[in-house]
Amino acid sequence: MTYPTQPEASHFIDGQYVEDASGTALPVIYPATGEKIADLHAATPALVDRALEAARRAQPAWAAMTGTERGRILRRAADIMRARNRELSELETRDTGKPLQETLVADATSGADALEYFGGLAATLSGEHIQLGEDFVYTRREALGVAVGIGAWNYPTQIACWKAAPALACGNTMVFKPSETTPLCALKVAEILKEAGLPDGVFNVVQGYGEVGAGLVSDVRVAKVSLTGSVPTGRKVYAAAAEGMKSVTMELGGKSPLVIFDDASLEDAVSAAINANFYSTGQICSNGTRVFVQDGIREAFLTRLAERLKAVKTGDPLDETTNFGPMVSERQREIVEGFIAKGQQEGARLVAGGGRLEGEGFWIEPTVFADVEDHMTIAREEIFGPVMSVFGFATEEEALERANATIYGLSAGVFTRDIARAHRFVAALQAGSCWINTYNLTPVEAPFGGMKMSGVGRENGRVAIEHWSQLKTVYVATGAVEAPF
Ligand code: NAD
């Protein structure tokens, strides 16, 4: 059977779609209905080798182009992505189940932003000059070589672009492995980059499960590995990369705090808590899933939240008025249901949701627990679904200590009208991305990444260049060479 969303082939290698039907079957399921929408295959070792070889072969010529030339291709790709936003957003919705209302503004558009931003930076890459009397030193900012990107399933287009754009801007080539759950969108990124003039072999996509990722990470041709995924996978990938002394970026999970003081704007705080827990059906790494609300406004917060939840609209994700989609997969729904059951067993008060929605697909209600205590499982572990935990607190000191009492350190938010407190609080938070009086905004201009177990390195912002390139120091002598004998 052929599906409208069936890609030309499973992989994109050396500028072309490539199939090898002997690879493990990789069915693609539309989360809103549970229907199959494409049949793909995981890459065989021979295809993985072909992709890495193509990337290795293409890299010197790509790095030898000027930054302006590389950047022009990336910026052209950004324009094509924007022009095709609707089509790409519909595919993203089919791949992930996220409502079109979201994907139209948050996925291909964010990918295009990254291609445009790093396309612009490509021409500015430079080293420095250090005068040492008559002698001098200069540094060259050079590419790392062949990079591997491995993606999670929640933002397949964005993740591919957030990795490819800085990698390619710096003169690296890439083999990207999307999540096995959402394999469709990265193929479009590859197609668009080719259309924009990217030389063959510079960006390749191979599909597969964890073992394909593991094969890529351990290959000697690979100089850099960038993973977006869970902490357990991050541990394995980091260890495997360390074996080959490869550079890494690890964008991992979180259990981030959102702290709301009595003096905050209640309406804005509720909006932020909704965005921080229910956007993308809660499947966002930086979500503020531990919502600490100061005692004076907690009941008002819960009341207003309950009212706002009445405006949740489920239904066909391709209908632009739908504002809440299904979980990405049956498996992810089961994981989230397990956490909801644990929350109830351990004594948290369920104040909204908690159940499945009737019908086909992997739907689950937006869920809120109140009276959550720090020792409970739902307070400590990443759920990666639409489950908000609300905690009480009395003082700033208490909120800070409890906000930081986690192995994770991806993100955090604070709501207060007291500007001194806002900055003091944020300075003491152990989290890579913090927001004051908002939540979950991640523009490409701002560095993004985790502290503690949430990751290593940063994506986005100028600083990403340092994670996708290396420095060479060149000492230049101008006089005679002295020697002891
Ligand atoms: P996951 O860790 O299960 O898988 C991530 C990717 O790693 C997949 O492509 C998978 O095939 C691959 N993989 C699995 N085992 C591997 C191995 N041994 N070697 C190499 N690759 C391997 O994560 P997921 O369930 O797809 O995504 C959800 C997780 O991702 C959550 O923890 C979430 O917080 C995290 N996430 C983080 C960010 C961020 O930027 N910090 C963004 C999105 C998602």
Tell the residue nearest (CA) to atom 26 of ligand 1: 152
The answer to whether the CB of 150 is under 6 A from ligand 1 is yes
Count H helices and E strands in the chain, helices first. Answer: 16, 22
**What are the contacts of 341-347 at 24+ separation with CB within 8 A?**
342/376, 342/377, 342/378, 343/369, 343/372, 343/376, 343/377, 343/378, 343/387, 343/389, 346/376, 346/377, 346/378, 347/371, 347/373, 347/376
Hey, what amino acid is at 180? E
| Cα–Cα distance measured from residue 148 to residue 167, given in angstroms and rounded to the nearest whole number | 10
Q: Among the options 92, 102, 251, 396, which is catalytic?
A: 251
The Cβ of residue 252 has, within 10 Å, a number of other Cβ atoms equal to: 28
pTM above 0.85, yes or no: yes
Does residue 466 surpass a pLDDT of 90?
yes
Inter-residue contact 201 to 190 (CB < 8 Å) = no
The Cβ of residue 260 has, within 10 Å, a number of other Cβ atoms equal to: 28
What's the rounded mean pLDDT across residues 24-38?
98
Tens of pLDDT, residues 129-163:
999 999 999 999 999 999 999 999 999 999 999 99
243 is catalytic: no
Torsion, CA 298, CA 301, CA 302, CA 305, rounded to 10: -160
Tell the residue nearest (CA) to atom 1 of ligand 1: 229
Span from the CA of 148 to the centroid of ligand 1 (angstroms): 14
Inter-residue contact 451 to 406 (CB < 8 Å) = no
Does residue 448 surpass a pLDDT of 80?
yes
Residue 257: what pLDDT?
99
90 is catalytic: no
Span from the CA of 140 to the centroid of ligand 1 (angstroms): 33
Residue 358: what pLDDT?
86
**Ligand 1 closest atom vs CA 214:** 19
Residue 278: what pLDDT?
98
**Ligand 1 closest atom vs CA 179:** 9
Span from the CA of 285 to the centroid of ligand 1 (angstroms): 10
459 is catalytic: yes
**Ligand 1 closest atom vs CA 217:** 20
Does residue 251 surpass a pLDDT of 90?
yes
Question: Three-state DSSP class for 279?
Answer: helix
Residue 484: what pLDDT?
98
Classify 233 in phi/psi space as left (phi over 0), alpha (psi -120 to 50) or beta.
alpha
What's the rounded mean pLDDT across residues 429-439?
98
Tens of pLDDT, residues 69-100:
999 999 999 999 999 999 999 999 999 999 99
Q: Residue 121's closest CA among 82, 171, 84, 158? A: 171
Instruction: For residue 475, give Cα distances in angstroms to 64, 136, 137, 408.
Output: 22, 6, 4, 42
Tens of pLDDT, residues 56-71:
999 999 999 999 999 9
Instruction: For residue 200, give Cα distances in angstroms to 54, 56, 80, 205, 418.
Output: 8, 11, 18, 12, 54
> 148, 217, 230: which to mutate for ligand 1, most atoms within 8 A of CB?
230
Angle in degrees, 0-180, between the axes of helices 67-83 and 156-169, rounded to the nearest 10: 160
**Token pair 């074996």 is at which residue?**
243
Does residue 2 surpass a pLDDT of 90?
no
Average pLDDT, whole number, for the chain?
Answer: 98
Tens of pLDDT, residues 287-341:
999 999 999 999 999 999 999 999 999 999 999 999 999 999 999 999 999 999 9
**How close are the terminal C-alpha atoms of the chain, in Å?**
80
**Ligand 1 closest atom vs CA 231:** 32
Tens of pLDDT, residues 5-15:
999 999 999 99
| Cα–Cα distance measured from residue 65 to residue 71, given in angstroms and rounded to the nearest whole number | 10
| Cα–Cα distance measured from residue 205 to residue 176, given in angstroms and rounded to the nearest whole number | 5
Tens of pLDDT, residues 154-202:
999 999 999 999 999 999 999 999 999 999 999 999 999 999 999 999 9
Q: Which residues pair with 131 in a beta bridge?
A: 136
* Residue 134 exposure: Cα atoms within 13 Å on the Cβ side: 5
Percentage of the chain modeled with pLDDT above 70: 100
Question: Three-state DSSP class for 470?
Answer: strand
Does residue 1 surpass a pLDDT of 80?
no
Instruction: Name the more confident of 2 and 222.
Output: 222
| Cα–Cα distance measured from residue 426 to residue 164, given in angstroms and rounded to the nearest whole number | 31
Span from the CA of 208 to the centroid of ligand 1 (angstroms): 13
The answer to whether the CB of 253 is under 6 A from ligand 1 is yes
Span from the CA of 154 to the centroid of ligand 1 (angstroms): 9
**Structure tokens of 318?**
């391709």
Residue 359: what pLDDT?
87
Q: Residue 443's closest CA among 103, 12, 117, 141? A: 117
